[in-house]
Amino acid sequence: MALDLSMKIIVVDDFSTMRRIIKNILKQIGFTNVDEAENGQVAISKIADGNYDFVISDWNMPEMNGIELLKRVRANESTKDLPFLMVTAEAKKENVLEAVKAGVNNYIVKPFTAETLQEKISKIFPD
């Protein structure tokens, strides 16, 4: 696995418990540099100033949801190629297609295990 375990990741979710869970799982996989934001707006400003390598965001959030966040990330020249993993509870086809359209790199259905998350991330960062 050629995953860069030192890459800087930002976890976006409005539920702090969920952020902790995801951070915990990332830690289990071996990632060391993990930051968080409680909604899309906070994430946008953090992403704008910080050199993040990877975004893991919840879909359904108040203020700014995951898709909106993704669109804004893609719309900004400096972050338009930033890898983005969407976390969601819905597995409907139209949702997947919407995410594809918005330019998501991959997506994962919760709850998930460390193995699943690792697989999903590996898909985004092929060897």
Task: Tell me the site size for other proteins, rule CB under 8 A.
Answer: 59
Shortest reach from residue 30's CB to other proteins, in Å: 14
Cβ(63)–Cβ(39) below 8 Å: yes
Mapping DSSP to helix (H, G, I), strand (E, B) and coil, where does residue 22 land? helix
- In the list 15, 30, 50, 51, the residue contacting other proteins (rule: CB under 8 A) is 15
CA 124 to CA 102: how far, in whole Å? 16
Using rule CB under 8 A, residue 62 touches other proteins: yes
- In the list 18, 29, 33, 35, the residue contacting other proteins (rule: CB under 8 A) is 18
- In the list 26, 48, 55, 66, the residue contacting other proteins (rule: CB under 8 A) is 48
Shortest reach from residue 101's CB to other proteins, in Å: 5
Using rule CB under 8 A, residue 45 touches other proteins: yes
The sign of the CA dihedral 93, 94, 99, 100 is: positive
Cβ(85)–Cβ(118) below 8 Å: no
